[in-house]
Chain A
Amino acid sequence: MRIIEKEEFKRNVKNLLIQTHYFLPEDVILAIKEAIKIEEGLAKDALLKILKNAEISSCLKLPLCQDTGIPQFFLNIGKNVYFDFNLKEVLNEIVTETYNQEKFRKSSVEDPLFRRNNFNFFTFFVDYKEENENECEVSILIRGGGSENMSRLNLFLPTTEFQEIIKYIINEVKNMLMFTCPPVVVSIGLGGSIDTNICMTKKALLRKIGERNKKEFYAETEIFLKQQINLSNIGPLGLGGKTTVLDVFIETLPTHIATLPVSINLQCHSYRRGSIRL
C-alpha cells in the first residue's frame, strides 16, 4: 500500500493549480507559433498578442485570463494508493487557499438563480488506474464561462448516418465559434450515457495538441473536421483568418442500442491545463 499524506498532496496540487493560471502549455504555444507563420494582418496581430499575453502572465504573475473559472480536477488513482485525508475537503482547501492567495477571481455564485456572494466552486472526477498501481495522477482543467457556454449535447437515433453527425458537428461549431475566443480546440464525445459522455468530452481536453485518437477512422475524422472548420474564415478572436481551430479531439464510449449521444465542447486558446504524478 502507498500512503499519500495530506501535506504532500496539498503542496503539489496547489503548486499545479497556480502554474496552470500563469503558464500556457508548451504544446499550445507551439501550435500558435506555427499558426503565426501562415497568418497576416489582424489575424497575425491577434496570435502575437496571445503569445505576448502568455509572456506577461508568467513574468508578472497575472492570470492568463481574468476568468479564472471553474477548476476541474481529474484524478487517476492506482489501486494501491491510499489517501490519509478526505479528498473533497482537501481539494476545497486547495482551491480556496490558492484563489485567495493569488487573488484569482471568484467566478462562481452559490445559487444559480439568487446570484450573491462570489465564491469558489470546483468539480472532481475520480478514475482508477490499471497500471502503475502505486501512483496517483492529478490533472486540472480550468473552465471559463465563455468556453463552458459553448457546449452541446444531442441524442441521435442509433441509425443516424455518420455523415449527418459530421454535418451537425460542423454547423454547431461554426455557430458557437464567434461567441468564444478562437483559435479553439474542439472536443467531441460519441457514445456512453449522457453523463459519462460529457465527462469524456471534457477529459479529452487533457490531450496534447496533435495527439490523435488511436483508431484510424476517428483520427482521420479529427483531421477532416479541423480542415473543414478552418475554411470558415472566422480566424483568431473572430477577426478573420485561417486559424480558427488548433485541433479536434474525438473520444468514444460504448453506448446503448437505442441511442447515440454526441457532445461538443469548445476550449478557448487560454488553454489552462496541467498534470502531475504523485
Chain B
Amino acid sequence: MILEECNLNLNTHKIFVPLKDTKILHSLKISDKVSITGELFVFRDQVHKKIHSGQVSQISNINFQNSAVYYCAATEAKEGFVIGSCGPTSSYRMDDYTEKVLSLGVRIMIGKGYRSSKVVEFCKKYGAIYLITYGGCGALINRWVKSVELVAYPELETEAMYKYWVEGFEGIVAIDVYGNTLWKNFDLC
C-alpha cells in the first residue's frame, strides 16, 4: 500500500552525473525535485578535512569536474546487497571545508539539513547546488544504489571515499545557483 502511495506525481527533473553541461543547474530552483542517475562520489567529515588540509596525493588522479558528492557513511553490505543502509548525514559539518571541494570541480552536494550562509555564497560563486535527500531513510536509499567502489583513504573504513553508481536517486533543491534557500520562509529564530 505504502509503495503505491509514494508516487505523488511531483514534477521531477532528471539529471545525469557527472554533468555533461552545467547549464541544467541554472534551470533548477529551490523546492524542485530531482532524480539523479550516474556516479556519486561519497565522502564526509574526515575526507573533507584531508582535502581541506591538502592531503590529496591519494586522489590527485581523480577527475571531479561537474561531479556530485554525497555525504554518507553506510553500513556494510550484507550478502546479496551492494551496500547496507546508506542515508545522508548532516551537511553542516562540511561547511567549513566546502569551498576546497567545490574548487576541485564538484557542482552538486547531497546531504541533509541546513547549510551556513558561507555555503550559499559558494553555490553562487561556483554555480553549484545543494540537494536535501531523505534523512533517516537509509534502507530506502539502498534501493537506488546499484554498485559501489572504494576509491581512496581505506583506512577511514566507513568514512573512506567511495563511488556509488545510482539510478533514480531523489533529492530536493535546497540551495540553488542564485543563492536562494529552501529555508528562507521558515521561522528558525
Contact A178 B183 (CB under 8 A): yes
Docked complex: A141-172 residues within 8 A CB-CB of B: 145-146, 149, 170-171
Q: Which of A49, A180, A240, A270 has the most CB of B within 10 A?
A: A49
Q: Please pick, from A62, A106, A170, A240, the residue contacting B186 in the complex, using a CB distance under 8 A.
A: A240
Contact A52 B140 (CB under 8 A): yes
Contact B113 A103 (CB under 8 A): no
Interface string of B114-157 (1 = CB under 8 A from A): 10000000000000000010111111101100000000000001
Q: Which residues of B contact A177 (CB under 8 A)?
A: 188
Contact A52 B3 (CB under 8 A): yes
Contact B85 A64 (CB under 8 A): yes
Interface string of B4-15 (1 = CB under 8 A from A): 011010100000
Report if A239-B182 is in contact (Cβ < 8 Å); known contacts: A66-B86, A178-B113.
yes
Contact B74 A66 (CB under 8 A): yes
Q: Which residues of A contact B137 (CB under 8 A)?
A: 49-50, 52-53, 65
Contact A146 B89 (CB under 8 A): yes
Contact B134 A49 (CB under 8 A): yes
Q: Which of A57, A65, A231 has the most CB of B within 10 A?
A: A65
Chain B interface main SS type: loop
Stretch at the interface among A40-48, A80-88, A123-131: A40-48
Bound CA–CA A178/B185 (angstroms): 13
Count of A interface residues, CB-CB < 8 Å: 55
Bound CA–CA A56/B140 (angstroms): 6
**Does B77 count as interface, using CB distance less than 8 angstroms?**
yes
Bound CA–CA A68/B140 (angstroms): 15
Q: Which residues of A contact B158 (CB under 8 A)?
A: 105-107, 118
A175, closest chain B residue (CB): B189
Contact A181 B75 (CB under 8 A): no
Q: Which residues of A contact B183 (CB under 8 A)?
A: 178, 234, 238
B185, closest chain A residue (CB): A233
Bound CA–CA A63/B134 (angstroms): 15
Q: How far is the CB of A19 from chain B (nearest CB, A)?
A: 15
A and B contact pairs by CB, cutoff 8 A, 5 listed: A48-B5, A68-B75, A105-B84, A174-B188, A232-B187
Add 15 more A-B contacts to A45-B10, A239-B182 (CB < 8 A). Answer: A45-B6, A53-B138, A55-B2, A57-B139, A64-B139, A65-B87, A65-B138, A174-B188, A174-B189, A178-B114, A179-B90, A234-B183, A237-B135, A238-B132, A270-B136
